[in-house]
Amino acid sequence: MPTRKLFLALLSSFAILLFFFFISFSIRLNFSSTTSLSNNTILLPGATQMNTQFTLLIGIFTRPGNFDRRRFLRLVYGIQSTPIAHIDVKFIFCNITNTEQQFFVALEIMRFNDIIILNCSENMNSGKTYTYFSTLPQILVTHYDYVMKADDDVYLRLAPLASSLHPLPRVDLYYGFVIPCPSMNAFVHYMSGMGFVLSWDLVEWIGRSNIPVNNTYGPEDKLVGQWLNLGNKAKNRFSAKPRMYDYPGTNGRCSHELIPDTIGVHRLKKWEQWIDVLRFFNVTKQLQPSRLYNVSFD
């Protein structure tokens, strides 16, 4: 029967096509799992071979003069890693107005290349967050899957952060610590400025929509929630409570005791608070013994 023959011929060519497709796909996977694809997107070896990788930019809002804090945060984030995400940590500030700071910051950039200077002036709640999100699509070579805004007094644990983002949608996502403090409903009000994540499509939307541009003055975190609500955006919301919180005793019902599966602890203003947190998470216990420093760091 001719139709039957035709059908068989089609079927076998389809099978051959499928075969070649699988071969080329598996070669591509093997190749990409160990290769740097571009400046901003690095697939780390040891990561799973399926399409589980994602990229995250953490922008830590700070001021040009906070050299000590940056020195410390570079250490704190430089010793962390996770196989499931490529994470870049960068410091974000507005125009530098002081000549000394200009020189010091230039040296930092030459050494660390982890600073983004926005075209804005350093005032609380005067549009830095809007400038941050709206500028990123214009200045980055490649986009990230997620962009985070974080304070410089928050301690983020990158592996738990990445694992919690991993199963979530890559688009239309708004993630963080929902305000008010006792609320567990991620859809009412907004995510605290201590550290919230937006998917890249929302970052682009902020830059292009006319809703945020006319509404940039006020508490920056609250405004982001208002923009998204007015724009009917962020259908996917995720509250990281109780794994994000304020340091014990610093902020009423936003605070609670340190817990082992923490993603972020906020309001670390004093060195003794940072040390308490680093000790709780056994951070310096990773230090390998050596004849070069045969001492106890407890």
Ligand X SMILES: *[C@@H]1O[C@H](CO)[C@@H](O)[C@H](O)[C@H]1NC(C)=O
Q: Applying CB under 6 A, which residues contact ligand X? A: 38-39, 95, 119-121, 141, 210, 214, 260, 280-282, 289-291, 294
Instruction: Decide whether 154 or 277 has the Cβ nearer to ligand X.
Output: 277
Residue type at position 268: L
Q: Which is nearer to ligand X, 232 or 290 (CB)?
A: 290
d(CA 13, CA 150): 54
Tokens 């990281």: give the residue. Answer: 240
Q: CB nearer to ligand X: give 104 or 281.
A: 281
Residue with tokens 């950039």: 109
DSSP one-letter string for 51-63: S--EEEEEEEE--
- Closest contact distance (angstroms) between CB of 279 and ligand X is 9
Q: Which is nearer to ligand X, 135 or 255 (CB)?
A: 135
Distance of CA 32 to the CA centre of its chain: 23
Please report how close the Cβ of residue 63 comes to ligand X at its closest, in angstroms. 15
Angle of helix 128-139 relative to helix 200-208, nearest 10 degrees?
Answer: 110
Nearer to ligand X by Cβ, of 3 and 290: the residue is 290
Report strand pairing: 244-246 vs 264-266: parallel
Q: Is the dihedral angle over the CA atoms 42, 44, 47, 49 positive or is it negative?
A: positive
**At 243, which helix (H) or strand (E)?**
none
Least distance in Å: CB of 265 to ligand X?
Answer: 12
CB 215 → ligand X: shortest distance, Å?
A: 9
Least separation, in Å, of the C-beta of 284 and ligand X? 11
CB of 283 to ligand X, least distance (A): 10
Provide the minimum distance between the beta carbon of 211 and ligand X in the complex, in angstroms, as a whole number.
Answer: 7
DSSP 8-class letter at 295: S
| Cβ contact 156:264 at 8 Å | yes
Rounded Cα–Cα distance for residues 135 and 226 (Å): 19
Q: Closer to ligand X at the Cβ: 99 or 294?
A: 294
- For ligand X, the closer of residues 127 and 195 by Cβ is 127
Residues 6+ apart with CB under 8 A from 130: 206, 212, 213, 216, 220, 223
Q: Say if residues 183 and 285 touch (Cβ distance below 8 Å).
A: no
3-state secondary structure of 76: helix
User: Closest separation between CB of residue 15 and ligand X, Å?
Assistant: 36
Query: Closer to ligand X at the Cβ: 112 or 280?
Result: 280
- What the block records as the tokens of 267 is 């309001």
Alpha helix (H) residue ranges in 122-168: 128-139, 158-165
